[in-house]
């Protein structure tokens, strides 16, 4: 029998490591805590895995769920005010979750910004 990969795997648009800090959950401010995250962008959501791709793959087998962010109606913008770090942008979801993403490497963060922005722009706003 042919092995058919789950649809979600076919729709991955970009994946890689970034620095991530969640700063609000459902509109409620959180204490900022930067950590490295393996980030998987598909055509309608972003998944944040706590550590490496390896752990991400093994968590798929164990059924352990990553943090999943619905990009429908989300906003993305560069910010200089929310961090002392360079190359930081913020994603705000309809549900009031706020994430900062950062990389010291200019082209890496620019690629991610464009990819996420393109995904958001392609989605219905509500």
Q: Are 100 and 79 contacting, i.e. CB atoms less than 8 angstroms apart?
A: yes
Determine, following the binding rule CB under 6 A, whether residue 32 of this chain makes contact with ligand I3P.
yes
Q: How far is the CB of 18 from ligand I3P (least distance, A)?
A: 13
Residues 66-125 that bind ligand I3P (CB under 6 A): 83-85
Contact 106, 87 (CB under 8 A): yes
CA distances, 95 to each of 69, 74, 87, 110 (Å): 10, 9, 25, 25
Of 1, 31, 61, 125, the one binding ligand I3P by CB under 6 A: 31
Residue 40 φ/ψ, nearest 5 degrees: -120, 115
Q: Which is nearer to ligand I3P, 20 or 45 (CB)?
A: 20
Q: Which residue is nearest to ligand I3P (CB)?
A: 83
The binding site for ligand I3P (CB under 6 A) comprises 31-32, 34, 83-85
């Amino acid at each position: 029998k042919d092995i058919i990969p789950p649809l979600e795997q076919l729709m991955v648009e970009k994946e890689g490591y970034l620095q991530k800090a969640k700063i609000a959950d459902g509109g409620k401010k959180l204490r900022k805590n930067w950590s490295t995250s393996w980030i998987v962008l598909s055509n309608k959501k972003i998944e944040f895995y706590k550590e490496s791709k390896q752990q991400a793959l093994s968590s798929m087998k164990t059924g352990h769920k990553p943090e999943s962010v619905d990009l429908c109606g989300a906003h993305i913008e560069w910010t200089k005010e929310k961090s002392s770090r360079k190359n930081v942008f913020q994603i705000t979801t309809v549900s009031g979750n706020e994430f900062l993403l950062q990389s010291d490497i200019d082209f890496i963060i620019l690629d991610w910004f464009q990819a996420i922005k393109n995904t958001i722009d392609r989605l219905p706003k509500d």
